[in-house]
Amino acid sequence: MTFFPDLAPYRYGFAPVAWDQNGPPSLEPIELYTWMWDPEDGAFDLPELAVGWLEPPHEYPRGALTTPLVEKLDRLCRASRYHVTRGFHPCGICGDDSDGLGSKEIRLLGDGVVYAAPDKIVHYVSAHAYAPPRGFVTALERCDGLAQPRRGALRPVTIDMIPREHVDVSLLDAEVRASLRRDHREQIFQDLVLQDRGDVVAILTRIDLGGSSEPFARSWDVPKRALLNMIQAAHSIINMLEASHSERALAMFAQHQRARSSKR
C-alpha cells in the first residue's frame, strides 16, 4: 500500500496519464495526470486528508482507542464499498490478510474536511496500537455512518498537486531500461536509446514482433515540457513503447487473418 503521512492531502489513485503510441496527449501539466477512480464512485466537495496509510519502515503514532470506538470503526470498515479494488492488500506490518479487509476505503466527515482512510485502518488500530489523529477520532465519535460522496463528481487536477523536478535524460534512459520487463528490454525493444536534443528527447528503438517479421524502426521526439518528473516520464515513455508494440502486433495479426480469409 502507498504510504501517506497522516493529514497529508489524499493522493491515492492520482497518477500520470498513460500515453499511447503517439506520445503525450498534451503539453499542459494538468492534462498529463489523472485520477484512476471511476467517476461513478463520486467525490467530495471538501478537502480529503489521508489517515492511516501505514507502511514500513515509516513510523506511526501509538495509542489506544476505547473498545466501543474500535468496534464502531470495524463496522464502518466492513460496511464500506468505496473505491473497491480487485485485490486485497495484506498488512504491511505483520502480513495479516485473514480479516477480509484491505480492498476498500472509508470516509469520515470532519470539520471542513473529509478523512480518507484504507479499510485496513481498524486492523492497524486493534493489532498494532496505531493512534489516528484527534480530528479523525472526533469524527468517528460523532458520525452516524460513513460520509457519502457526490456521485458522478470528478476529483480536480490542479497544478499544485503535480510533482515537478528537472529530468536528466541520461538518468531517464537508465530508468526506462531498468523499468521495462526483462523480455521486453532484451527481446522486443532493441537498441533502445534516449537522446537529449535541446527542447526534445529523442527516443529511438527497433521493435521486434518475433516470428519471421523483421524488427521495424520507431522513433519519437518528445517535448521536454511533457516530462514533469522522473517517475512520470519513465512511466509515460514505457506506456508509449508498449502501446506502439501492441498496435503493430494487432495490425500484423489482422493482416494475417485477412490473408488467410482470402485463401479460403
pLDDT tens digits, residue range 11-27?
Answer: 999 999 999 999 999 99
- Sheet of 200-207, strands arranged across: 189-197, 200-207, 216-223
Residues 86 and 193 reside in one and the same domain: no
Residues 195 and 136 reside in one and the same domain: no
pLDDT tens digits, residue range 131-182?
Answer: 999 999 999 999 999 999 999 898 999 999 999 999 999 999 999 999 998 8
Residues 48 and 127 reside in one and the same domain: yes
Residue with cell 529523442: 202
pLDDT tens digits, residue range 99-120?
Answer: 999 999 999 999 999 999 999 9
> Where are any strands of DSSP class E within 134-260?
189-197, 200-207, 216-223
Is the residue at 181 inside a domain? yes
Tell me the average pLDDT across 220-236.
Answer: 98
Residues 128 and 184 reside in one and the same domain: no
Residues 83 and 187 reside in one and the same domain: no
Residues 80 and 193 reside in one and the same domain: no
Is the residue at 57 inside a domain? yes
Q: Which helix (H) or strand (E) holds 105?
A: strand 105-109
Look at the chain and report how many structural domains it folds into.
2
| Distance separating alpha carbons of residues 32 and 35, to the nearest angstrom | 11
Give me the pLDDT at residue 13, please: 93
Residues 153 and 187 reside in one and the same domain: no
pTM for this structure? 0.85
The pLDDT-based confidence of 187 (bands split at 50, 70, 90) is confident
| Distance separating alpha carbons of residues 242 and 91, to the nearest angstrom | 32
Which is higher by pLDDT, 150 or 252? 150
Residues 152 and 216 reside in one and the same domain: no
In terms of residue numbers, what domain contains 258? 169-263
Residues 195 and 258 reside in one and the same domain: yes
b/e code 99-116 from CB counts within 10 Å (16+ = b) = bebbbbbbbbbbeebbbb
Residues 140 and 113 reside in one and the same domain: yes
**Antiparallel, parallel or unpaired: β 189-197 and 48-50:** unpaired
Residues 112 and 184 reside in one and the same domain: no
Residue-averaged pLDDT of the chain: 93
Bridge partner list, 223: 200
| Distance separating alpha carbons of residues 223 and 27, to the nearest angstrom | 8
